[in-house]
């Protein structure tokens, strides 16, 4: 592998990894919105009296559900979103370290080339 090829591969890796970081940011933002929406909905649901008729949207129909079931579904939705956010943040952290390492390698290659 020549230096030029190694340099090109490192540059490609940096660009690819930066794109993955941006994608992770977008996914985290979307999951945060989902979590917030579920939380706000749950807050409103919990203010209603227990006898309130509530319906869950399933495909193109609505199913009558007790308040407790709706509450538990909203809590579960929040929990799942939070877990996925944590996973994505760990993945993003790894990707950012990977970008930094690749950039450091590129810098070293450039410095070595100048030294010659």
- Tens digits of residue pLDDT in 8-40: 888 999 999 999 999 999 999 999 999 999 999
- Total structural domains in the chain? 1
Using one digit for the tens of pLDDT, what is the confidence trace for 42-99? 999 999 999 999 999 999 999 999 999 999 999 999 999 999 999 999 999 999 999 9
**Separation of alpha carbons 21 and 81, rounded Å:** 18
57 sits in which H/E element: strand 54-58
Which CATH number belongs to the domain containing residue 110 in this structure?
Answer: 1.10.287.370
| pLDDT at res. 1 | 66
> Is the Cα torsion angle 95, 17, 13, 104 positive or negative in sign?
negative
Using a 10 angstrom Cβ sphere, with 0-12 exposed, 13-18 middle and 19 or more buried, the burial of residue 91 is middle
Model-level pTM greater than 0.85? no
Closest CA to 14 of 96, 92, 93: 96
What is the domain extent for residue 104? 3-115
């Amino acid at each position: 592998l020549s230096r030029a090829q190694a340099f090109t591969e490192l540059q490609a890796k940096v660009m690819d990894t930066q794109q993955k970081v941006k994608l992770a940011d977008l996914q985290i933002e979307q999951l945060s919105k989902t979590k917030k929406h579920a939380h706000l909905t749950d807050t409103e649901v919990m203010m209603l009296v227990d006898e309130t008729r509530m319906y869950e949207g399933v495909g193109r129909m609505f199913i009558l559900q007790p308040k407790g079931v709706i509450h538990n579904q909203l809590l579960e939705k929040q929990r799942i979103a939070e877990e996925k956010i944590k996973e994505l943040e760990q993945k993003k952290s790894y990707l950012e370290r990977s970008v930094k390492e690749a950039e450091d390698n590129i810098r070293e290659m450039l410095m070595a080339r100048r030294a010659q």
